[in-house]
Amino acid sequence: MTQRLTIRRPDDWHLHLRDGLMLAGVLPETARHFARAIIMPNLVPPVVTGAAAAAYRDRILAALPEGMEFRPLMTLYLTEETDPDDVAAAHQSGLVTAVKLYPAGATTNSASGVTDFDKVRPVLERMAEIGLPLCIHGEVTMPEVDIFDREKVFIETVLDPLRQRTPGLKVTLEHVTTADGIDYVAGEAGDIAGTITAHHLMIDRNHILVGGIKPHYYCLPVAKRRRHRDALRRAAISGNPRFFLGTDSAPHSDEAKESACGCAGCFTATNTMACLAHVFEEEGALDRLEGFASLHGPARYGLPPNAGTITLVKEDAPVPYPDKIATGAGPVTVFDPGHPLYWRVA
Ligand code: NCD
Ligand code: ZN
């Protein structure tokens, strides 16, 4: 018995598209299902100014295959030198949807991120004034803090003080991976939301480390214990509009992943919707999938939901997904949840 579920076309509120040959290779994987995505600015060099964001947007649109429709929602990479006036102008013109905060050194291409949060205070204050959201990679980077604790410590020592000092700042805590992050977003007063990836709803840290090291499950923030994964699932299916999808699909070539020092990032663009349908069905919450993938995000960002729809079909037999997609920058391994998927987008 095939089962069908039609929902508004989804959006991705956290996506890495890279540039050049990699961009050309991965963009169709997202544009096939998603109407819009918040585009991460962690290129080398990062997208710091409005002018750079406009040029990057144009390269994305130029890479979009004929006949595909997709709207990139651009972000600026916050540095200690970011000019509040440039940010305000980029917002005013409709070019940028958010500013991205990477603590310096937290993840891939984050060397230009923030070390001294006082230095970015004028930008944050201006953003609060004009209603421009701040998307945050929520991990501290001090070597003495265990990598599995970095999100929790960030919330306590950086995020909460920053929000107290900047009332009115709209914050998205991105790719939440802990019960602590979920509790913070759900329990706080004020303007905060949290994105959750498809892969963090499926894997825990055992997937990375048991039975041999699995580099394609390594991403940042790193997957935590099973109880944290379960807290993410409860939040995703809760119907709470503060939680919505940000895939953090982060392509790296196999050569870069399968290395003695492999890059962080899971590439999920190809099968995100199948993974989500699988999880929401397992949780008996298919009726909440549309809110999570297609409604809460636009409401948060003050945009209308997409006019179009997609239909998810559940087959009797497993749906084959490619192991890899070929790009001009090398093969990129597609996220494998470790069990068959029966859902596909019609
Ligand atoms: C991202 C990347 O590769 O750019 N990697 C990841 O593991 N998620 C960076 C990021 O979002 O942390
Ligand atoms: Zn990311």
SS (H, E, C) 98-126: EEEECECCCCCCCCCCECCHHHHHHHHHH
Percent over 90 (pLDDT), the chain: 95
Q: Does residue 33 have its Cβ closer than 6 Å to ligand 1?
A: no
Q: Does residue 247 have its Cβ closer than 6 Å to ligand 1?
A: no
Taking the whole predicted model, whether its pTM rises above 0.95 is answered as yes
At 105, the amino acid letter reads G
Residue 108: band (very low, low, confident or very high) from pLDDT cuts 50, 70, 90: confident
Average pLDDT over residues 291-296: 98
Q: Does residue 265 have its Cβ closer than 6 Å to ligand 1?
A: yes
- State both tokens at 222: 């790193």
Cis before 221 (ω within 30): yes
How much is the mean pLDDT over the chain? 97
pLDDT at 118 over 70: yes
Pick the atom of ligand 1 nearest to 14's CA.
Answer: 11
Residue 188: band (very low, low, confident or very high) from pLDDT cuts 50, 70, 90: confident
Pocket test for ligand 1, best of 219, 257, 333 (most atoms within 8 A of CB): 219
Pick the atom of ligand 1 nearest to 174's CA.
Answer: 11
Coil/strand/helix, residue 95: coil
Contact 202/337 with Cβ under 8 angstroms?
yes
Burial of 304 (0-12, 13-18, 19+ CB in 10 A): exposed
Residue 1 is predicted with a pLDDT of 66
Closest CA to 124 of 64, 90, 91, 170: 170
- The verdict on whether 287 is a catalytic residue reads no
**Model pLDDT for residues 224-260, shown as the tens digit of each residue:** 999 999 999 999 999 999 999 999 999 999 999 999 9
pLDDT at 2 over 80: no
Domains of the chain: 4-345 (3.20.20.140)
Please report which ligand is nearest the Cα atom of 150.
1
